[in-house]
Amino acid sequence: MSLIEISNLSIIYKLGLQNIHAVQSLNLNIKKNELVAVVGESGCGKSTLALSIIGLLTTPPAQITNGKIIYKETNLLNLDNNQFLNFRGTEIAMIFQQPMTSLNPSYKIGEQIGEAIDIKEQRSDSSILSNKYETNQPDFKYSKNKFLFGNLLSLSNLKRVSNRKSFSELYKKEIVEILKLVRIPDPSEIVNRYPHELSGGMMQRVMIAMALSQKPSLLIADEPTTSLDVTTQAQILRLMKDLMNEIGTSILLITHDLSIAAEIADRINVMYGGQLIEESTIYDLFSKPLHPYTQSLLNCIPSGFKGEKIMKGIPGSVPLLHKIKNECQFAGRCSKVMPKCSESKPDYLSISKNHKVGCFLYE
């Protein structure tokens, strides 16, 4: 039973006259209490995928042209902005790459976590199940007014801003508890600090605390440790894995680093040029990588001493996604390229029960 099932998802960015095909007919599913990693180089569409799940793509320029995202029997793509509020945060939460820019610099840590808890409380009051698609928020059909008035006019938001300071008092116990959960030392003191007074690792812990205060079923972590030091990274990854076991969340980990995926993921999807090219359990992928791209990516990880192993790198650079070509995306850089690679697109085939690959070598 999958928690979330993405089928045939296609996303384009409309830039002037050009369309960038960032995600092309992608299928992905995540089961309950599973850690799934999506690995790929920059510009392969992995962040676009993450944002589309949590409904934060800026449209325009982005546009979802095709596909379904079924989350617990609801198609997230059919929801409008107000309906999505029931899912964002409470059901699906996200941690971003830059903890520094994700926190509001002008409010204290306690106030920001308190606000998250307050939203959770309000939502459970209005009971998500009974009026699943209705919220207490005034329904603004902002078509044009959105940019003029936007959230400012929303009364509950005005109230929230003025109340933000009181949240840290109101939910003091919960805030300290949640900070303890993410192993922040001396939590009652941290509550009264501003984001700039914390280190990068601490801020990322606060972000995780905010996400987890909602007890979401799915946590999307978009490169959560790229801006952190390795010793801090190890602590954050360990924390994520521990919390996953404690709370029972599923995690979608977006990363460019195969080693990080190897350390914590259960299943792994390799993405290239807006498509998945290989997916399998973590053990299968590292024992027998099938796609030439996965093989060369593994060969690019530095290991061994000087002169022991020669890394070739991958010649060329990632494809521009201006148009969908009827060929294998990797054909231009592949070392095992065949004539038919540039004539048609390989099918995405199951090789064994848990192993799929899109390459002509295995047809």
Partner 1 sequence: MSKTLLELINIVKHFPIKNNFYIPYISTSKTFIQAVDDVTLNISEGETLAVVGESGCGKTTIARIIMKFLKPTKGIIKFNNMDVSKIKGKNLKELRSNIQMVFQDPDSSLDPRIKIINSVKEPISELTNFSKSEIKQKVISSLKSVGLNDEFLYRYPNQLSGGQKQRVSIARAISLQPKLIILDEPTSALDVSVQAQILELLIDLQKKFNLSYIFITHNIAVAQYIADKIVVMYSGKIVEIGNVNQVMTHPRHPYTIALISSTPKPNPWKRKILKTEIIGEVPSAINPPSGCRFNNRCLYVEDICYSKIPKMIETDKNHLIACHFPEKTLNITKNLD
Residues found near partner 1 in the complex (CB under 8 A):
41-42, 185, 199, 201-202, 229-235, 237-238, 241, 256-260, 262-264, 282-283, 286, 296-306, 310-315, 317-318
Nearest approach, Cβ of residue 204 and partner 1 (Å): 11
Residue 238 one-letter amino acid? R
Residue closer to partner 1 by CB (options 248, 315) is: 315
Residue closer to partner 1 by CB (options 91, 266) is: 266
> In the chain, which residue ranges form alpha helices assigned H by DSSP?
46-53, 81-84, 99-102, 109-125, 145-148, 155-170, 172-181, 187-190, 200-212, 230-247, 258-264, 282-287, 292-299
Residue closer to partner 1 by CB (options 172, 333) is: 333
Q: State which H helix or E strand residue 39 sits in.
A: strand 35-39
Nearest CA to 210 among 113, 304, 285?
Answer: 113
Nearest approach, Cβ of residue 132 and partner 1 (Å): 38
Q: Say if residues 213 and 248 touch (Cβ distance below 8 Å).
A: no
Give the 3-state secondary structure of residue 175: helix
Nearest approach, Cβ of residue 334 and partner 1 (Å): 13
Sheet of 18-31: strand order equals 18-31, 2-15, 62-71, 74-75
Nearest approach, Cβ of residue 257 and partner 1 (Å): 7
Residue closer to partner 1 by CB (options 258, 276) is: 258
Residue at token pair 């409904």: 55
Residue closer to partner 1 by CB (options 136, 317) is: 317
Residue closer to partner 1 by CB (options 156, 354) is: 354
Residue closer to partner 1 by CB (options 133, 283) is: 283
Cα dihedral 222/356/282/316 (nearest 10): -60
What are the angstrom distances between the C-alpha of 274 and each of 38, 45, 175, 344? Answer: 12, 5, 39, 17
Q: Say if residues 280 and 262 touch (Cβ distance below 8 Å).
A: no
